[in-house]
């Protein structure tokens, strides 16, 4: 870029008058003109230099001004950019904070929903457990009630049956000899109430299942070997249809030898024979025609006189013994009847169904 000095005319300034030279110089017109021309030229050069300096200063001022404006604009731009960056960063931070808050709120709500679902699930689980427990208890009660009824039904099989010895039972009335599925009831001494109740399911080919029926409704499978050992040790009753069969403990033959009762005493041999089963038989098996006890009087010498046949539950008294003896011809040489009864003994034997 070329620089051209300003051509603006400037007002003419009269150069300062120099002291007049010597009288010789003042009188030369040419010298005067030359001196004036030189002075004008010098003035013009000085004015041009001054104008140039002024223009340079103006240009420098403009450049400085433009540079200042540019710097200010640049700094302002930088400041604006920084502010924009800070605003953007703040906006990002705020957005991140909002996102974090939303995420935390969403997590909190999800946690609350999860807690509510867990609580609902726990309530459902507890309700299901309660219902299941109630159902289980109801089922257990139903089973217990059914088992209690089953026990009662097993006992009811003895009602209105006729008592007889098991040795008199037909083969088809015994569990080992059935030809079709048959249910038996069995009662033996024992248990909390004095009686143990069994139910026997007999199938052909000697397949037999035994169940112990408890008063509390518990039903227990009993191995056949255990059941056989149990009934082999003690007496038991077995019901089949209208018959109640009695299996005594020990020997199939039974007798008792006792003094003749005195005064108002009586002897019921069935009590001594049946013992713990006596009250049950009296209550459930009223038909006792097949069971009887033969009462004989044994004298001191060993001779026996039959005086009476007692049905199950019957009792013999001293008067009945005397009456029976009186109906038989007295032995020669025997003493008085009372003395004879005092010295002798009653021999009572079980009768009925013995084979």
pLDDT band (50, 70, 90) for residue 197: very high
DSSP element (H, E) containing 17 = none
Burial class from Cβ neighbours inside 10 Å (0-12, 13-18, 19+) for residue 221 reads exposed
Average pLDDT in the 143-154 region?
Answer: 92
Cβ contact 102:108 at 8 Å: no
pLDDT band (50, 70, 90) for residue 22: very low
What's the whole-model pTM score? 0.62
Domain parsing of the chain, residue ranges: 101-252, 255-351
Query: What does the alpha-carbon distance between residue 124 and residue 117 come to, in Å, rounded to a whole number?
Result: 10
Instruction: Inform me whether the pLDDT recorded for 334 exceeds 50.
Output: no
Q: What is the pLDDT of residue 9?
A: 53
At 239-274, the pLDDT tens digits run 998 899 999 876 667 889 999 999 889 999 999 999
Which residue shows structure tokens 């040795």?
167
Q: Which of 18-22, 41-45, 150-154, 232-236 has the highest mean pLDDT?
A: 150-154
Burial class from Cβ neighbours inside 10 Å (0-12, 13-18, 19+) for residue 201 reads middle
Q: What is the pLDDT of residue 66?
A: 80
At 269-315, the pLDDT tens digits run 999 999 899 989 988 887 656 788 999 999 998 899 999 999 888 99
pLDDT band (50, 70, 90) for residue 127: very high
Query: Could you give the 3-state DSSP secondary structure of residue 136?
Result: helix
pLDDT band (50, 70, 90) for residue 329: low
Characterize the bridge pairing of strands 316-317 and 304-311: unpaired
What are the structure tokens assigned to 274, written together?
A: 């049946």
Q: What is the pLDDT of residue 355?
A: 38
Q: What is the pLDDT of residue 332?
A: 44
Query: What does the alpha-carbon distance between residue 337 and residue 339 come to, in Å, rounded to a whole number?
Result: 6
Q: What is the pLDDT of residue 319?
A: 92
Which DSSP string corresponds to 204-234?
TTTEEEEEEE-TTS-EEEE-HHHHHHHHHHS
Instruction: Inform me whether the pLDDT recorded for 103 exceeds 70.
Output: yes
Q: What percent of the chain has pLDDT over 70?
A: 88
Instruction: Inform me whether the pLDDT recorded for 24 exceeds 60.
Output: no
Instruction: Inform me whether the pLDDT recorded for 67 exceeds 80.
Output: no
pLDDT band (50, 70, 90) for residue 316: very high
DSSP element (H, E) containing 167 = none
Instruction: Inform me whether the pLDDT recorded for 62 exceeds 70.
Output: yes
């Amino acid at each position: 870029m070329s620089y051209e000095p300003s051509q603006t005319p400037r007002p003419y300034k009269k150069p300062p008058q120099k002291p007049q030279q010597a009288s010789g110089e003042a009188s030369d017109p040419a010298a005067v003109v030359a001196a004036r021309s030189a002075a004008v030229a010098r003035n013009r050069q000085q004015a041009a230099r001054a104008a140039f300096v002024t223009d340079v200063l103006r240009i420098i001022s403009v450049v400085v001004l433009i540079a200042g404006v540019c710097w200010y604009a640049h700094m302002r731009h930088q400041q604006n950019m920084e502010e924009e960056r800070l605003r953007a960063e703040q906006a990002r931070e705020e957005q991140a904070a909002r996102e974090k808050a939303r995420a935390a709120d969403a997590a909190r709500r999800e946690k609350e929903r999860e807690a509510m679902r867990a609580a609902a699930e726990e309530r459902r689980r507890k309700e299901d457990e309660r219902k299941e427990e109630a159902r289980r208890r109801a089922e257990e009660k139903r089973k217990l009630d059914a088992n209690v009824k089953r026990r009662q039904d097993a006992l009811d099989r003895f009602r209105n049956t006729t008592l007889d010895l098991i040795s008199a039972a037909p083969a088809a009335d015994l569990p080992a000899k059935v030809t079709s599925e048959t249910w038996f009831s069995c009662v033996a001494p024992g248990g909390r109430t004095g009686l143990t109740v069994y139910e026997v399911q007999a199938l052909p080919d000697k397949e037999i299942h035994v169940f112990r029926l408890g008063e509390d409704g518990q039903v227990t499978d009993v191995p056949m070997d255990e059941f056989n050992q149990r009934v082999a040790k003690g007496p038991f009753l077995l019901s089949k249809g209208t018959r109640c069969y009695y299996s005594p403990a020990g020997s199939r033959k039974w007798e008792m030898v006792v003094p003749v009762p005195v005064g108002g005493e009586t002897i019921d041999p069935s009590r001594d024979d049946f013992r713990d089963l006596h009250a049950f038989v009296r209550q459930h098996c009223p038909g006792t025609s097949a069971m009887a006890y033969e009462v004989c009087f044994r004298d001191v010498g060993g001779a026996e006189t039959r005086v009476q046949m007692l049905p199950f539950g019957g009792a013999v008294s001293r008067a009945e013994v005397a009456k029976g003896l009186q109906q038989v011809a007295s032995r020669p040489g025997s003493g008085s009847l009372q003395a004879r009864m005092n010295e002798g003994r009653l021999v009572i034997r079980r009768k009925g169904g013995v084979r």
